[in-house]
Amino acid sequence: MSRSRKSRYQETLLQWIWDMQQFEHRNLKTVCGKALVVEDPGSLNPGKGPDFLHARLKAGEMVWHGDVEIHDAEREWVQHNHHRDTRYDTVVLHVFLRGGNFIPRTSDGFKPYRLNLTGYIRQPLYRILIQKEANEVLPCSGNLTFISEKAFEQQLIKVHHEYFEYKVESLLSDYPSGKKLSAAWKAAVITGIYKTLGISDNRDAMAQLSRRLTEAGSYPEAFDEFLEYVISLADTENKSVWKSTGMRPSARPSKRIRQAAAYHYQIQNMIFREFASNGVRTWDMITNRIQKQYLPGKQMQEILKITVFLPALYLLGDLLFSESLKHESKTLWLNSKFRLPKKILDPFQKSGFPLQNNQQNPGLAHQLKRYCWQRNCHQCEVFKKSIHS
């Protein structure tokens, strides 16, 4: 799911609350006033249909066996067309956070019981749930009195490891398995370079350009001719896919395409065994062969090295059964430090997180993009600490 500026959480967090039963059960009542006992919340459904299957609930004096559907707003029952979908005819309870006078019905006319969780969720968790996600503040920004610095440190260690694995998997997704190992690995690295230089507005367009170059197979031998070839191929793309409005001159596609082509040319022409024998030193060899006018700034060079090349070397070590390559690249990643972009640091700093120098590693970007912005708070150590404080 793409990053969004919604004032409410994604359904996954509400599903976690139901699955873990993170609410007060005493005096639990349905909207219609029936005493409700959750004897079995059901099993989370990984496929299509109701969120939880085979639940057992006691409403009043009657025990119900059926499914449970979870929504942020009650009206999403109709917005998601559940009232026309026979898969939801087995729902006996509709759980939601924001209600109204809406009464859901299944396709056969049955009216499930309704449970509004507001009022049953503990205050630390509820404060996080209703926290609006402003442009510059994290969802838990108003709850930092409940958060220990230790939990934040634990979370950053966790995401720093996770981000490395994420980057290796990302390279694998661009690994053309039909090619021989050396060509396929180089293609994955080159696509990673193009995508990173395209961040953020031109990431997809740069990835597509790289794939078209990979499909072409053969290239001009001289760099100047190769550069012209790459530029001409980029020019044949739909002009609307390239975004340059509001960008710094150094980040515009005309500049980034040339930089990507320079790295592409040097990686493509590097003898494959050099990567295995020289490891991380190969990066400096590549950089030193690129003319200065085609090199990005120092910060971007470091980002490319750490977030593309180190995971690529780990992948190469995996492919070649080289523990030394894997160890070298992972160790350097774990000890890597570079100046993170302001847009990564600002949300943490403005939300009151104490960022020490040793915490400003690539994992912080992973935390922001795949935990905070995607509202995966229930998987975060900071969140777990805050709701149990």
pLDDT at 8: 45
Model confidence over 21-67: pLDDT tens digits?
A: 989 998 999 999 999 999 999 999 999 999 999 999 999 999 999 99
> What pTM was estimated for this model as a whole?
0.73
Collapsing DSSP to helix, strand or coil, 98 comes out as: strand
- The amino acid at residue 118 is T
Give me 283's structure tokens.
């990066």
Contact 377, 371 (CB under 8 A): yes
Contact 336, 330 (CB under 8 A): no
pLDDT at 333: 94
Stretches in the chain below the pLDDT threshold 50: 1-8, 133-135
pLDDT at 135: 44
**Burial class for 176, CB neighbours closer than 10 Å (0-12, 13-18, 19+):** middle
Q: For strand 43-44 and strand 62-73, is the pairing parallel, antiparallel, or unpaired?
A: unpaired
pLDDT at 310: 97
pLDDT at 387: 66
pLDDT at 388: 62
**Burial class for 147, CB neighbours closer than 10 Å (0-12, 13-18, 19+):** buried
pLDDT at 227: 96
